[in-house]
């Protein structure tokens, strides 16, 4: 006997039996072999290939109180997570205090207090807001990793950049949410991180690079600086810059390993010199160890330009 087709909105990812009931799908149909039961009351079409929000949305549709929190929410906001956290692939699900504790396979349950505006819907999933997600992660992240998480949320680039970017929240929003939860676990780390978060860092390594320089008592570089030509047109976008000494820092991530990117890097370095800038290229190896090589590289470059 031929199976009836599911409504389109149930075919692209996980769905709850609550959602299928609302759509008029019979329980016999939800027990068919083309659907996988990943948890009690949650189905996923075998061929959906669901990832990210599509794979998780059913968990927040089980009832009106459940929201994704902690690393699960952080991943959906594209917050960089260090290895000691990213390995936790459980689904972190919370309900407000007063409701029953979330208990199911592969779910880490939480009971939390949410103030107005601290939960939102994103791509069909109920989860904590960017600022609240960051504050929750303060209980499990080291200071430097919490700064990197905050940098990723407040990062923005204006229209003069090749790829303009809007921030998910502001530093002021992070500061405000910390003030709303003075006794929350991890709030001391959050307060310390607030003083170090800046707008303009595109990746966690860029944040760690900046923090290493600050820790070594070197001047703090400026982010989001645009180098312009004599016509005022943008020509260079360094990851970080020392304007007084015209020293630019460029972090070379994994995507810089290809031949085409290598040629672009050489062209950028030559353009930097043409406009009077000394470019310092930083690799992931320069950020490793208790005395990262980035400090020596940048100190030497600054000294060559007259910094004392």
pLDDT at residue 295 greater than cutoff 60: yes
N-terminal to C-terminal alpha carbon distance within the chain: 82
pLDDT at residue 256 greater than cutoff 70: no
Orientation of helix 187-194 relative to helix 171-180, angle to 10°: 150
DSSP 8-class letter at 264: H
What pLDDT does 147 receive? Answer: 98
What pLDDT does 236 receive? Answer: 96
What pLDDT does 106 receive? Answer: 87
Q: Residue 190 in contact with residue 179, Cβ under 8 Å?
A: no
- For 96-137, write each residue's pLDDT tens digit: 888 888 888 889 999 999 999 999 999 999 999 999 999 999
Surface-to-core class of residue 233, CB atoms within 10 Å of its CB (0-12 exposed, 13-18 middle, 19+ buried):
exposed
Task: Give the H/E segment covering residue 134.
Answer: helix 130-137
Alpha-carbon distance of 67 to 70, in angstroms, equals: 10
- For 175-230, write each residue's pLDDT tens digit: 999 999 999 999 999 999 999 999 999 999 999 999 999 999 999 999 999 999 99
What pLDDT does 262 receive? Answer: 66
pLDDT-above-90 percentage for the chain: 84
What pLDDT does 69 receive? Answer: 98
What pLDDT does 182 receive? Answer: 95
Tell me the backbone φ, ψ of residue 171, rounded to 5 degrees. -60, -40
Q: Residue 135 in contact with residue 77, Cβ under 8 Å?
A: no
Q: Residue 218 in contact with residue 224, Cβ under 8 Å?
A: no
What pLDDT does 1 receive? Answer: 56
Longest alpha-carbon distance in the chain = 82
Alpha-carbon distance of 242 to 245, in angstroms, equals: 6
Alpha-carbon distance of 105 to 111, in angstroms, equals: 17
Q: What is the mean pLDDT of residues 219-247?
A: 97
């Amino acid at each position: 006997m031929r199976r009836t087709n599911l409504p389109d909105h149930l075919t692209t990812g996980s769905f709850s039996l609550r959602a299928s009931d609302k759509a008029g799908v019979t329980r016999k149909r939800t027990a068919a072999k083309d659907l996988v039961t990943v948890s009690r009351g949650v189905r996923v079409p075998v061929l959906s290939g669901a990832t990210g929000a599509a794979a998780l949305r059913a968990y927040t549709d089980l009832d009106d109180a459940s929201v994704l929190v902690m690393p699960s929410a952080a991943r959906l906001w594209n917050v960089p997570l260090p290895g000691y956290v990213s390995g936790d692939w459980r689904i972190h699900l919370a309900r407000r205090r007063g409701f029953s504790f979330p208990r199911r396979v592969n779910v880490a349950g939480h009971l939390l207090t949410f103030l107005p505006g601290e939960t939102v819907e994103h791509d069909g999933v109920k989860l904590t807001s960017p600022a609240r997600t960051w504050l929750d992660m303060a209980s499990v992240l080291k200071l430097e990793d919490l700064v990197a998480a905050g940098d990723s949320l407040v990062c923005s680039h204006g229209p003069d950049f090749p790829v303009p970017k809007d921030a998910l929240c502001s530093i002021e929003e992070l500061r405000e949410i910390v003030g709303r939860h003075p006794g929350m676990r991890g709030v001391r780390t959050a307060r310390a991180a607030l003083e170090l978060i800046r707008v303009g860092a595109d990746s966690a390594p860029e944040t760690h690079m900046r923090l290493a320089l600050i820790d070594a008592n070197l001047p703090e570089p400026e982010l989001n600086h645009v180098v312009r030509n004599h016509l005022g047109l943008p020509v260079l976008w360094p990851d970080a810059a020392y304007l007084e000494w015209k020293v630019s820092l460029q972090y070379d991530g994994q995507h810089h390993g290809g031949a085409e990117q290598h040629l672009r890097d050489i062209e950028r370095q030559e353009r930097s010199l043409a406009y009077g800038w000394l470019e310092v290229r930083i690799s992931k190896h320069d950020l490793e160890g208790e005395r990262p090589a980035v400090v020596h590289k940048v100190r030497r470059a600054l000294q060559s330009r007259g910094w004392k």
